[in-house]
Chain A
Amino acid sequence: QKEVEQDPGPLSVPEGAIVSLNCTYSNSAFQYFMWYRQYSRKGPELLMYTYSSGNKEDGRFTAQVDKSSKYISLFIRDSQPSDSATYLCAMLRGGSNYKLTFGKGTLLTVNP
């Protein structure tokens, strides 16, 4: 079983839709959670980071963490064509471990 599971999609939605992206993980040592967005031929861009269970909002983006269920989500409200990209969840253990473990990524297309 992989440490981090993410549905690769692809996911196609109309402009203005609410998008839900999800990851599950198996290792309870993960303490820090991030979402990255990656456009074609570019490096991943950090969207949000969080370390506690609950919701964190930033503009149209909301990150949700449920440590008891080992489940994290990213919601995108009022999705735009410019949101079309691959979304990657990433996790970091606590303590002296500096290795990010990534999900495989979900390819999202927002259609005008």
Chain B
Amino acid sequence: KAGVTQTPRYLIKTRGQQVTLSCSPISGHRSVSWYQQTPGQGLQFLFEYFSETQRNKGNFPGRFSGRQFSNSRSEMNVSTLELGDSALYLCASSLESGVFGYTFGSGTRLTVV
């Protein structure tokens, strides 16, 4: 059974650019969440989607956005990149509500220079 797949694994961008990250959840999982992980702040929740609808959003600026497609695949976009956006971006999926835990991908390491 394939796990959560995130692409690309590594990305280097320049300040001011925008970036799109992709996530393919485990087959049958309809809930997809995104998290940002930094050494200083740890893992912080960005947003969660279920059946193409955003159900929860974290405390991040509007530059961070996401969407989910009908096949449950998800993308997140960060516009006008800042140096502080350098982080590991993790996608996680679950069947529906996450009460039995989320399965995480290996993440996309974004470096903004």
Q: Do they bind each other?
A: yes
Interface size on B, residues (CB 8 A): 26
Name the CB-closest residue of A to B106: A43
User: Which stretch, A14-22, A69-77, A98-106, touches the partner chain B?
Assistant: A98-106
Q: How far is the CA of A49 from the CA of B16 in the complex (A)?
A: 40
Name the CB-closest residue of B to A94: B99
Instruction: Assign chain A's interface to a size class.
Output: 20 to 34
* Min CB–CB distance A28 → chain B (angstroms): 17
A42 touches B33 (CB 8 A): no
* Min CB–CB distance B37 → chain A (angstroms): 9
A68 at the binding interface (Cβ < 8 Å): no
* Min CB–CB distance A7 → chain B (angstroms): 13
B28 at the binding interface (Cβ < 8 Å): no
Report if A100-B99 is in contact (Cβ < 8 Å); known contacts: A43-B90, A44-B90: no
Question: How would residues 77 to 113 of chain B score, 1 for a CB under 8 Å from any chain A CB and 0 otherwise?
Answer: 0000000000000101000011111111111000000
Given the complex, which residues of A lie within 8 Å of B103, measured CB to CB?
Answer: 46
Given the complex, which residues of B lie within 8 Å of A88, measured CB to CB?
Answer: 42-43
Q: How far is the CA of A29 from the CA of B44 in the complex (A)?
A: 18
> Assuming A42-B107, A43-B4, what are 9 further A-B pairs, CB within 8 angstroms?
A32-B99, A36-B104, A45-B104, A51-B99, A98-B56, A99-B45, A99-B48, A100-B43, A101-B45
A34 at the binding interface (Cβ < 8 Å): yes
Q: How far is the CA of A43 from the CA of B107 in the complex (A)?
A: 6
